[in-house]
Structure 1
Amino acid sequence: MSFVQYLKDKRYFFAVYVVMMLFVSLIMFVSANGQDALNDIAYTNTGCFFFAALYVTIGYFYRKSFYKELSELVGNKQEDWAIAAMPEPQNTTQELYLNLLNQLYLEQSNGTLKLQGEIKDHQDFILSWIHEVKLPIAASRLIMENRAGKTAEYLVDKLEDELSKIDSSVEQALYYSRIDSFSRDYFITDVPLPIIVKESVKKVAKLFINKRIRPNMEELSHSVNSDSKWLFYIVNQVVANSLTYTEDGGSITFLSEEDEQEKRLLIQDTGIGIKSADLRRVFDKGFTGSIGRTHSKSTGMGLYLAKQMALKLGHDLSIQSSEGQGTTLIIHFPKVRNYDDLR
């Protein structure tokens, strides 16, 4: 900051100074007579002007270092600069402004890191999704290329399986893209669990039949407060996961129960189970675990999305499993919940 700019900033001080000296000079003029009054006024104005100029000059050189450091930071074209490089404040006003800048800088840095993490997660999901979609497309092409000697019924059946996989991947991407706008897309009603489960089983009925897995819904009876569309997707993700890791000839049991705090939907399978080391991470984004990597059937997004949607609905998911002894996934429906707060 130049001395001229500093003087411009002090213009209100000079205005007050001029008004004050005019007032003092007027009082002195009416209080005395003749040449003595004029001499006193001249001496007083000269002395006060000297001290005012000295105050302004010393103030400029005192604050010059602060303004110089601040100007250098403003002219710094680097994308990132440390807040620790800010000059030391010389008064309370400067300290408040620097504290405000520090707070804004930290919030902007945290927001940038969060956004970068979300972008990376989105990119990872897109890459995983593309890989998953390409597999059934490639399989469909192989089926068509090797159609010689195959009946139309056989080809339709195989192509239908691959289309089902593509449909599942597209549906997952759709729900993933809409999860952040959930608060604008839910409608809470009384949802019968038997209807939701039956629709979910019906959607993958062919896989149940092909793997000779028996769905058991005899102990399913409760209704819950939820959004039928989102709850159907949650249940469908859990069922698809159970089917993936349940061997041929196994079974998946659906049952509901209730106590004073909540209602619960339990989905139990006789599959290969989950290692204890992986159990606490099954709901993490992108986590496939040792079993997922071994079977090459998992993207790590199904249970993550199911968990996030359940939480947004005011529900929750928990899991119980032992390796080689099957898995039980529990959807919790708390009875006390203000659904106006969902977002």
Structure 2
Amino acid sequence: MKIRDYIKINRIWLISETIIFIIINCILYSSSNINKSFLDIMYMDILILLIMLITFTYGFRKEKKKFTDICKCSENTNNKINDFYLNVFSKILEKENLKHIRIEESLKNNINDFEDYITKWVHDIKINIAVVDLLLEDLEDDESQKIIAQMEQMKFSTNQVLYVTRANNYNLDIKSEEVAVCDEIKKAIKENAGFFINKNIEIILDSEGFNIISDRKWIHYILSQIINNSSKYTNENGQLHVFSKEDSKAFYLHIKDNGIGIPKEDINRIFHKGFTGKNGRTRTKSTGIGLYYAKKMCNNLSIDLKVESEEGEYTEFILSFYKLADYYNVTPMSH
């Protein structure tokens, strides 16, 4: 135990003593019935300070002894005082532990109920979207095409709801398996094809096939989120280039567009939760959630995700799949 800890514990007492000290001085100085010479007041001050110092020292030594006894509990189990402290603290900790367990169980139940509701809602809304798609299938005018484009965005957004709900509890919904990254890229591009077609964006896929050990659906989510982000911030008649590299340490997947780029002041914050940046506020109704969860899941799966960009020129996401990554961090589960 240090003196500053003791001062912190007894700060109210110290404040009260200080106030008393000031009041006594004021009374002594203002009273006309006593000799108010400087020496008399100084003498009184010394007495008061001496008493305060004695009291402070006594209290500190007493508390320090208690603290030392508690610290020695684990070293001397035969000491009755130490056993008493151990029993007291054990009961306190046990009581607090039970309290926190009950709170945790209540929170888990509430979260599970909410996740069940969200999952049901998403599946219900996807049925409604599918019905609208069927009704729009035979229409070819410009207005119907705009509606179809919005429906595609709704499909993407509803799927993201499911992923975001699961991302907060990913360790209960994960499966380690061999994943062909190139196949997942193709699926992610297909999932976002409507966005690229509407803007006439050229896609160049120049990625050699490589396999990793990870969770397939989360890899798909990460790739789909990055590719969707590129479709938002690439202008009409733009280009998306997907290619891969390899060295002795890792496979590197590059997803590069020639879109509007990211301002220098925003690039270090694009993975922050809720951050939309200048582009998100001016061009799209961005929520700042997609890339945050993509980065979060990359961290959970031992994948490195970085971004390089130059405003008005390009944006490039680089995913590093390390060959010697500790995949035991990913909890294998069977479905």
Map residues 85-164 of structure 1 onto 2, 5 A cutoff. 152-154=139-141, 155-164=143-152
> Are the structure 2 counterparts of residues 238 and 102 from structure 1 closer, same or farther at C-alpha, using a change threshold of 3 Å?
same
How many angstroms does 1:171 deviate by?
1.2
Matches of 2:212 and 2:240 in 1, distance apart?
21
> Are the structure 2 counterparts of residues 96 and 240 from structure 1 closer, same or farther at C-alpha, using a change threshold of 3 Å?
same
Matches of 1:173 and 1:292 in 2, distance apart?
19
Matches of 1:200 and 1:307 in 2, distance apart?
17
2:254 aligned counterpart, secondary structure: strand
How many angstroms does 1:227 deviate by?
2.0
Paired residue for 2:283, among 251, 274, 295?
295
1:213 aligned residue: 201
2:233 aligned residue: 245
Gaps of 5+ in 1: 1-90, 127-132, 145-150
2:246 aligned residue: 258
Paired residue for 1:189, among 170, 177, 180?
177
How many angstroms does 1:237 deviate by?
0.3
> Are the structure 2 counterparts of residues 249 and 220 from structure 1 closer, same or farther at C-alpha, using a change threshold of 3 Å?
farther
1:309 aligns with 2:297: yes
2:321 aligned counterpart, secondary structure: strand
How many angstroms does 1:272 deviate by?
0.9
Deviating beyond 4 angstroms after TM superposition, the runs of 4 or more aligned structure 1 residues are: 91-105
Q: Which amino acid aligns with 2:211?
A: S
Question: Are the counterparts in 2 of residues 244 and 297 from structure 1 also a CA contact under 8 Å?
Answer: no
Matches of 1:282 and 1:218 in 2, distance apart?
26
Question: Are the counterparts in 2 of residues 200 and 239 from structure 1 also a CA contact under 8 Å?
Answer: yes
Question: Are the counterparts in 1 of residues 271 and 295 from structure 2 also a CA contact under 8 Å?
Answer: yes
1:322 aligns with 2:302: no
2:235 aligned counterpart, secondary structure: coil
1:178 aligned residue: 166
State the TM-score, normalized to the length of structure 1. 0.57
How many angstroms does 1:316 deviate by?
2.1
How many angstroms does 1:225 deviate by?
2.4
Gaps of 5+ in 2: 1-80, 119-124
How many angstroms does 1:191 deviate by?
2.1
Question: Are the counterparts in 2 of residues 220 and 254 from structure 1 also a CA contact under 8 Å?
Answer: no
How many angstroms does 1:93 deviate by?
7.0
2:5 aligned residue: none
1:274 aligned counterpart, secondary structure: coil
2:273 aligned counterpart, secondary structure: coil
Matches of 1:156 and 1:248 in 2, distance apart?
20
Aligned-residue CA RMSD in angstroms?
3.7
2:261 aligned residue: 273
Q: Deviations over 1:19-39 (max 9, x none)?
A: xxxxxxxxxxxxxxxxxxxxx
Q: Whose Rg is larger? A: 1
Q: Give the aligned length.
A: 229
2:61 aligned residue: none
State the TM-score, normalized to the length of structure 2. 0.58
1:152 aligned counterpart, secondary structure: coil
2:324 aligned counterpart, secondary structure: coil
Q: Deviations over 1:165-188 (max 9, x none)?
A: 222221111111111332232223
> Are the structure 2 counterparts of residues 160 and 104 from structure 1 closer, same or farther at C-alpha, using a change threshold of 3 Å?
farther
Q: Deviations over 1:265-306 (max 9, x none)?
A: 110010111112211111111111122112233110111111
Matches of 1:164 and 1:209 in 2, distance apart?
12
